[in-house]
Amino acid sequence: MTDTKIELLGSSLTELQALCAQEGLPKFAAKQICDWLYAKHVDSMDAMTNLSLKARARLEEIASIGRHDPINCMVSKDGTKKYLFEVASSTDGTQQYVETVFIPDGDRGTLCVSCQMGCKMGCRFCVTGQQGFHGNLSAADILNQIFSIPEFDRLTNIVYMGMGEPMDNLDNVLASIAVLTSDWGLGWSPHRITVSSVGIVPGLKRFLDESQCHVAVSLHNPYPAERLTIMPMQKAYPIAQVLALLKQYDWHGQRRISFEYTMFRGLNDDLKHAAELVRLLKGLFCRVNLIRFHSSPNTPYQTSSPKAMDQFCQYLNDHGIICTIRASRGEDIMAACGLLAGQNRQNN
C-alpha cells in the first residue's frame, strides 16, 4: 500500500488507463471506472460492481474516490446555500476549509466553487484575500464541491468565483473542467462554465488557448494608480496588459468575456470612472457586471448608493457596453461576492 492514496475523482480517462496498465487491470476497466465516477457518481469502490473483486480490492489499497460530504450548510433567507468543506491541511499543518455557494434562480442552479485555500492576490476589499494563502485545491477537491452537494442534479452552471485565483492553480482547474466537459466525464458544454481572474497574464493566455469556457476579469477600477490601491496584482499585471491580451481573441462567438466591477462609494462609482471604463474597453465585445460592495470587517470601503449604481450602469449601456447590476445573493450568511472566508462555523 502506498503512503498517499491516489484520488480517482478528477482523473482523466487517459490517466485511468495508465493506472490500470500499471496495476495489471484490463484497459477497458478505465472506461468502467470513469462511468462509475462521473456518470453514476459513486462514493465507494464497492459500488463499482462490474469490476472484479480483486480489482476493487487493489483500487481500495492504492486509491480513494476523493468524495466527502460537506460538514456544514448555511441557508440564506433568499434560498442561497453555503456549504463548508474540509480539505487537506496547509503547509503549516493547520486544518483548512473552503466554502461553496449554491444559488437557485428559477430553473437555473449556479454553483460558485473555490479553487484554493485562501488566496495570494491580496485584494483589499476581499475577505478571502485577508485570510492569506494556505495551498491549492486538487482537482478532486474542486470537483468534490460539485459532486457532493444535494443539488448536484439541479446544477445548470458552474462559476469558478469562490475562494482563490483560478489562474494561480491552473493545472487543477483545467483538470476539473476536463471532467465537466469531456465525453468521458459529464459532457457539459464549456459555455455553462465561467472562470474568473484578476488578470494573471501567463495563466490567462494559457486558459484562453486551452479552454472555451467563459471568462470574467476582476477590473474594479479603470485608472491604474487607483486600481493598484485595492488590487496589488495591478503592479505585476497592469490592466492595460490584460486587455491587450484579451483583444487578441474573438469574443463574437459563444464564448463570452465579462468584467466584474465592484462599486465603492466615492472611490470608483462616478461618471468620470464610467467614461474611462468606456474608453478602456473600446474595441472589445464584452459586458460589465456591476457588483454591490458587501461590507466586511477590517475594510474601510463603503457601498455605493443604488442611484450611483443605476447612473453608472445607464452610462455604460448608453455608450455601447452591455452592463447589468448583479443581484446580491446570500449576504446574510456571508456567501455574497468577496465574503467567503473558509472558516468552520459548524457550531454557529
- Name the residues annotated as catalytic: 99, 337
Paired residues of 103 in beta bridges: 110
Closest CA to 162 of 346, 348, 330: 330
Cell of 278: 468606456
Taking the C-alpha atoms of residue 332 and residue 336, their distance in angstroms, rounded to an integer, is 8
Amino acid type, 151 = E
98 conformational bin, left if phi > 0, alpha if psi -120 to 50, beta if neither: beta
**Residue position matching grid coordinates 450548510:** 73
Tell me the CA end-to-end span of the chain in Å, nearest whole number. Answer: 39
Taking the C-alpha atoms of residue 240 and residue 238, their distance in angstroms, rounded to an integer, is 5
Length of the chain: 348
DSSP 3-state percent helix, strand, coil across the chain (nearest 5) = 35, 20, 45
Torsion of CA 212, 218, 223, 229, to 10 degrees: -140
Please state, as a whole number, how many other Cβ atoms lie within 10 Å of the Cβ of residue 95. Answer: 11
SS3 330: coil
Torsion of CA 119, 121, 125, 131, to 10 degrees: 30
Whether 84 contacts 95, CB under 8 Å: no
Whether 305 contacts 265, CB under 8 Å: yes
Taking the C-alpha atoms of residue 253 and residue 215, their distance in angstroms, rounded to an integer, is 13
Closest CA to 150 of 94, 100, 106: 100
